Structure 1
Amino acid sequence: MQAFIVVYALFISAYCVPIFDEQLNYQWSLFKRVHKKQYASINEEMIRRNIWEHNLAKIHQHNLEADLGTYSYTLGMNQFGDMRYNRTKKKLSKTIYCDFTYRTT
């Protein structure tokens, strides 16, 4: 029974650790340097790296399909590559409040 618990604990701990593509380490470092990205903790950086890899894969997939004629445009990585769509949308569509008075003469 104890052996089962140890194996189970190892399985759970291995499952919880995100697995990153080692071949993308240089691109990730370059992305952070170019866009001046700094994260509050290693945990946040791991989350952002995971999102970035997912977005990069979507970009590559789209561009392959564009090469085949499915799309007439290509995509590229930008400063929002480490954010999910909803967070990017929220960041870009903040309400701007204007304080002005309309006077009739």
Structure 2
Amino acid sequence: MTPAVFLAILCLGVASAAPTPDYSLDAEWEEWKRSNEKTYSQEEERQRRAVWEENVKMIKLHSEGSGLGMNNFTVEMNEFGDMTGEEMRKMMESSVLTLRNGKHIQKRGDPQIPKTLDWRTQGYVAPVRRQLGCGACWAFTVAASLEGQLFKKTGKLIPLSVQNLIDCSRSFGTTGCKGGKVYGAFLYVKNNGGLEAEATYPYEAK
């Protein structure tokens, strides 16, 4: 077999191994790419579309189950629709706060503590914000925690600036959209004397 023939067969095998897209979803795929500003190489697009189509199927099945009363939550397509579950896990995971000086968290047997408590109904939790493609879950966590404490003290729920943490806390061990430790972010807020409000320092996801 000549090298040229072997190469042609090899290319044919690779092409046939690539997932075949559901052409009925072409318009929806193109609109999703446009609205989320997605661009790919030819090979990457085949792979990403295959993942996206699997997620579309999962969302459809879940929605059908919700219509039958089988689920108590909703799911919808967003900018992460071309990512696998493992890719999402790696992107979203954050470092765990390490306890210092050998201290341990102990469960308190206080009978006054309720079995359940929803802080949302108490006014402590601001509306959900979209993180987009920035791995700053650590900053959202810190901002939300401080918002609740501020509400407890003042009675006012003021969304705080996640972007302020992303931009300014790097000297405390955070790395912007690539992750960070909540402990370092809290230290930054303490040393800075506070955190800007979301209204004056809006989120840019970068």
Which TM bucket (shorter chain)? 0.7 to 0.9
1:51 and 2:51 correspond: yes
Give the TM-score of the pair, scaled to structure 1: 0.75
User: Can you list the C-alpha shifts for 1:8-36, whole angstroms capped at 9, x where unaligned?
Assistant: x6x95674132111110011011111111
Q: Which residue, 96, 99, 105 being the options, matches 2:180?
A: 96
Asked whether the equivalents of residues 18 and 46 of structure 2 are also in contact (C-alpha less than 8 Å), the reply is no
Residues in 1 aligned to 2:76 and 2:58: alpha-carbon distance in whole angstroms: 10
Determine the structure 1 residue equivalent to 2:86: 86
Residues in 1 aligned to 2:42 and 2:25: alpha-carbon distance in whole angstroms: 17
Q: Which runs of 5+ in 1 are unaligned?
A: 1-8
Residues in 1 aligned to 2:73 and 2:14: alpha-carbon distance in whole angstroms: 42
Residues in 2 aligned to 1:45 and 1:21: alpha-carbon distance in whole angstroms: 13
Q: Larger radius of gyration, structure 1 or 2? A: 2
Instruction: State how 1:32-71 maps to structure 2 within 5 Å.
Output: 32-39=33-40, 41-71=41-71
Residue 73 of structure 1: how far off its partner (Å): 2.0
Give the TM-score of the pair, scaled to structure 2: 0.40
Residues in 2 aligned to 1:48 and 1:91: alpha-carbon distance in whole angstroms: 16
Asked whether the equivalents of residues 56 and 77 of structure 2 are also in contact (C-alpha less than 8 Å), the reply is yes
RMSD: 2.4
Determine the structure 2 residue equivalent to 1:26: 27
3-state SS in 1 of match to 2:83: coil
Residues in 2 aligned to 1:81 and 1:74: alpha-carbon distance in whole angstroms: 15
Residues in 2 aligned to 1:62 and 1:76: alpha-carbon distance in whole angstroms: 9
Residues in 2 aligned to 1:73 and 1:19: alpha-carbon distance in whole angstroms: 31
Instruction: Using CA pairs under 8 Å that are at least 6 residues apart, name the structure with larger relative contact order, 1 or 2.
Output: 1
Determine the structure 2 residue equivalent to 1:17: 18
Q: Which runs of 5+ in 2 are unaligned?
A: 1-8, 95-178, 191-206
Residue 93 of structure 1: how far off its partner (Å): 2.2
